[in-house]
């Protein structure tokens, strides 16, 4: 069951956006945010962590060959549209 909610507020308009996942099915469980990005860290592969449609061929290849016992964890940064 999905329990966490993401809440973002547009400082210019004051409008709040509340959602459980993005339209791509990604649950934003993030470690840090900035003015224009969300930084997510996972030490294992989770299909809800990223959308393969948004990745390049090279990025998809890295994920498929990732060895969690030997390789560094993934750091994913989502930039907000301006």
pLDDT digits (tens, 9 = 90+) for 35-66: 788 877 765 555 467 778 878 999 889 888 98
In 3D space, the residue among 72, 24, 19 whose CA is nearest the CA of residue 48 turns out to be 24
CB atoms within 10 A of CB 7: 8
Question: Which pLDDT value is given to residue 14?
Answer: 93
Give residue 31's pLDDT band: very low, low, confident or very high (50, 70, 90): confident
- Three-state SS for 64? helix
């Amino acid at each position: 069951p999905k329990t966490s909610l993401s809440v973002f507020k547009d400082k210019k308009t004051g409008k709040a956006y509340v959602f459980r996942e993005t339209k791509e099915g990604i649950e934003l469980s993030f470690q840090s945010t900035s003015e224009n990005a969300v930084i997510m860290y996972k030490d294992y592969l989770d299909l809800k962590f990223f959308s393969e449609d948004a990745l390049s061929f090279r990025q998809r290849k890295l994920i498929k060959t990732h060895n969690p016992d030997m390789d560094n964890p993934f750091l994913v940064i989502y930039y907000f549209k301006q």
